[in-house]
Amino acid sequence: MKVCPNCKSEYQTGITLCPDCRISLSEKEESDPIEISREQFDQPLVLISTIQSPAVAGMVKDILEQSGILCSLRNQYFGGQRNEFVLGGIEIWVPESRVEESQQIIAAYIDN
Ligand SMILES: [Zn+2]
């Protein structure tokens, strides 16, 4: 399934241009919001990694969520002040059923 990035019309695969807007269609999968499955919210969270850089931790969270994995960052801020980071780093917590998958995703990301 293809979708027009301008008018959001959907077209069958094989059509490459939106006949109305005359611009290239993109894969529909790219624009679909990733759903985080409900059962993950009922599971205990497991600490899988501690990351020093807030920017890297934020990117890891985005990558995990794009893979449909519920991700929680802890100890991100000290005393509620957004500009004071805890020295120990930022903990990445994920549901226990997704631990292995999450570790693979983080390993692949950090290797790059
Ligand atoms: Zn269009």
Domain count, the chain: 2
Strands ordered across the beta sheet of 2-3: 10-11, 2-3, 26-27
* Separation CA 4–CA 18 (nearest Å): 6
* Separation CA 40–CA 26 (nearest Å): 30
Statement: the pTM of the whole predicted model exceeds 0.75 = no
Give the pLDDT confidence of 2-27 residue by residue, as tens digits. 889 899 899 887 889 999 999 999 88
Give 25 Cα–ligand 1 centroid separation in angstroms. 8
Task: Specify whether 21 is located in the same domain as 48.
Answer: no
Q: What is the pLDDT of residue 78?
A: 53
Give 34 Cα–ligand 1 centroid separation in angstroms. 23
Q: Enter the tokens of residue 33.
A: 């919001």
* Separation CA 12–CA 47 (nearest Å): 43
- In this predicted structure, the answer to whether residue 86 has a pLDDT above a threshold of 80 is no
- More confident of the two residues 40 and 75: 40
> Residue 63's domain spans which residues?
38-111
Give 14 Cα–ligand 1 centroid separation in angstroms. 15
Task: Specify whether 48 is located in the same domain as 103.
Answer: yes
